[in-house]
Each structure stands twice: as C-alpha cells, then as structure tokens.
Amino acid sequence: MGNGPLSGVRVIELAGIGPGPFAAMLLADLGAEVIRVDRASAVREGATSGGTDFSNRGKRSIAVDLKSERGRDVVLRLVEKSDVLLEGFRPGVTERLGIGPDDCLARNPKLVYGRMTGWGQEGPLSHTAGHDVGYIAITGALHAIGRAGGPPQVPMNLLGDFAGGSMYLIVGVLAALLESKTSGRGQVVDAAIVDGTAHLSTFIHAFLATGLWQDRRGVNMLDTGAPWYDVYETADGRHMAVGAIESQFYAEFVRRLGLDGEDLPDQNDRDSWPALRERFAAAFKTRTRDEWTEVFVPSDACVAPVLSMKEAAEHPFNTARDVFPELAGHRQPAPAPRFSRTVTETDGVPALPGGQTREVLDDLGFDDTETLLKEGAVAQA
C-alpha cells in the first residue's frame, strides 16, 4: 500500500497466474491496497519469503479455503470492505464457489468485479483452455509477426497476456471505478485477451482498410518489410535496431551509416527494398554493436542497440531514469507511469502466500480471526 494516485483503493485479488496477478501488481504499484487471496493449501511450513515472483510485490496475502463455507464467507466479508475484486478463473468457477458477481455485488453494490480470461465470459471457446499464443493466433496478430517467407514468430507472451489482457483489465477497472463515483453502482468488467489484442491491432486494420498494408508477413513498413525498419547484425554478431521512418530521420540514418552521397535507391521504392537492405546490412557488418552505438546514440537517426535483458538493466539511459532499480535484492522494473504529485513507489517484496492472513483480518476488523485459523477456513504462513 503506497502513496500513488490509487491510495485509498482496496483491491481483492483471487490468486491466479499471468495477466491477473500482473494487473493487481500494477494497481499496487499505483498505490492501491491489494489483498491477494491465496489457497490455504499454498501455505508451506517453514517458508520465509515470497521468492522472486515479482508480480506479487506490494501486496498482502491471506490464505483461504475457498471450498469451505466459512472460507467463502471470509471473501465476501472482505468484499464488503473493498472497491475492486479481480479473478482469472474459467467462466462459472467463482459462481460455483459462491463468490461470483451476483454474490459479491449483493454484499457490496459499489464493487467493481474484474474478470480476466483468454476467450471471454461468453462464446464458443469460453470454457476451453488456452494460452497467449492461441489467443493472439485467433485474432490475426500472430500471423502478422515474422519475416517474409518464414513462419509466424511468437513475441513471448507480452502481446496477449499482458498487453491485450492485463492492460485492458486495468483500463476497464479504472473506468468502472470512475463511473461508480457518479452512479453509486459497481459492475462486472469482462476483459478477454482476444478482445484486447484485437483492439491493439486497430492501427494495422486501418492500414489494411486503406490498402497501405498487405495481409502477409514481412512485406510492410513496420514488420521488417522496409529496410529502414528492421534489425541488423553487427561485426560482433550482435544487433542494431533501425526505425528511421520519416524522411529527415532516414537522411540522418544514412549519413551516420556512412552511405550519404552514395547512389542509393529511393527510400520508398518498394522494388528496391531488397537492394537497399543489402547495402545497410553490409555497412552494419563493418563495426561492432558498441561502436555503432557510439555513432548513433544519441541522435535523430532512430537507431538503438539491441540489448539483452541484463544489459538493459545497466544501460546508462535506463540507470539515469532508474528504470530497473534494485528492490528486495533484485533488479526489477520500476512502477510506471510516473506522476508529478502522487509519486509511486514499491518495496519490491513479493507476498508470501498466507503471509499476512492474521494481519489483514485484524486490520479489517474481523473479531473471529483465531477461530477461523483454528477451523482451517484460513491459514497463516
């Protein structure tokens, strides 16, 4: 619980994996009080920390037996004192547990009930299993990523789970919270990764509608089709990223690459793109990545070194902005975005499942904490 813009907002997170926990972490980074409801079975004797699951940072954890009547009642009592609930189970699971939207809104009509799934709460695939790669595949986004003549390239699980999933869940929750201030009523937010990923593709669909985008990989301006929007290998086997789209930035790129004044094809002559790519590739092979970095950074050529994740944490630009501070003994991404007045902060310590059960219940005014612990409705790590 911090001092960010969401200070004073209480969020109940029903423990899950992937986009749900990350969304709850971001809300915690922004100052919300996040209480993670872990399964009582997750409590392990002798555990002393929450490990390195950074998505659990900034939270407090209470371990609850959700299959018991007393455990279910604990969650509903928490709901009465909270603003938001987040869950990422398959459709119908929380209803069967007795902590679905109707159950929770009956206890707290102002509650925002955020639901995170891949396929959505309804539809022909809503009750089937899935993962990021399948969600982005069915939206057309995966098909568009990769080089011409090659297979689709999987962009880790950033595009679906976290961009199309977590971020849209957060936007929906914050919008519903804002609306509730005037209506006095809560509502359910149905955040589906397929919906979010499709929505993220709006810009490309606009290009497709106007004929400026071909529905093929690696032949367009932003998908490695254009030689001035790509990555190039350097003399030491590393890479530089080039994004010199605008004419003035392209001119600066060509000049710093050492090809200024040479007889190069026109930047936007698609038929000449293969030849232009060969010229760029040959030039980049003459120096190492770090040597090219000295040439290009900083400049308006829109060229940057491709850094590994460990290198990124130590890069001067990132250290100057403290993008990867050392928190709880590890380099972690700092809270984002940044605010001028309600400054965000985090100690970076992941919550241990059930680590704050007694503390949370006592803080929220439960007068039967010891009874609940004795009965096994809740557990303290």
Q: Residue 274 is part of a domain; what is its CATH number? A: 3.30.1540.10
**pLDDT band with cut points at 50, 70 and 90 for residue 3:** confident
DSSP-based three-state secondary structure for 140: coil
Q: Which residues are CB-contacts of 346 (< 8 A; sequence separation ≥ 6)?
A: 2, 28, 29, 57, 58, 327, 334, 335
Q: Which of 38, 65, 132, 161 is catalytic?
A: 161
Q: 161 an active-site residue?
A: yes
Q: Is 239 a catalytic residue?
A: no
Read off the pLDDT of each residue in 281-295 and give the average, rounded to a whole number: 98
Neighbours of 248 (CB within 10 A): 10
User: pLDDT tens-digit profile of 250-269?
Assistant: 999 999 999 998 899 999 99
Catalytic pick among 102, 127, 131, 363: 131
pLDDT at 32 over 90: yes
> Which pLDDT tens digit goes with each residue over 110-164?
999 999 999 999 999 999 999 999 999 999 999 999 999 999 999 999 999 999 9
DSSP, res 350: B
Per-residue model confidence (pLDDT) at position 280: 98
List beta partners, residue 57.
350
Residue 219 lies in a domain: no
Residues 188 and 241 in one domain: no
Q: What is the mean pLDDT of the chain?
A: 96
What is the number of structural domains in the chain? 2
Whether 45 has a pLDDT exceeding 70, the answer reads no
In whole angstroms, give the CA distance from residue 159 to residue 196.
9
Encode pLDDT of 167-195 as tens digits.
Answer: 999 999 999 999 999 999 999 999 999 99
Query: Does residue 49 register a pLDDT over 70?
Result: no
Spatial distance between the Cα atoms of 338 and 263, rounded to a whole number of angstroms: 46
What pLDDT shows up at residue 221?
96
Q: Which domain holds residue 236?
A: 229-306
Do 282 and 147 belong together in one domain? no
Q: What is the pTM of this model?
A: 0.95
Enumerate residues 6+ apart whose C-beta is below 8 A from 80.
Answer: 107, 108
Amino acid 371 reads T
Q: What's the pLDDT score for residue 51?
A: 84
pLDDT band (50, 70, 90) for residue 166: very high
Tell whether 138 and 242 lie within a shared domain. no
> Does 297 fall in a domain?
yes
CA distances from 322 to 56, 282, 328, 340 (A): 21, 36, 15, 16
Q: Are the CB atoms for 38 and 109 separated by under 8 Å? A: no
Per the listing, tokens 């007393």 go with: 70
Residues 161 and 31 in one domain: yes
Q: Average the pLDDT over 100-118 and give the result.
A: 98
* 82, amino acid identity: S
312, 314, 318, 322 alpha-carbon torsion, rounded to 10°: 130
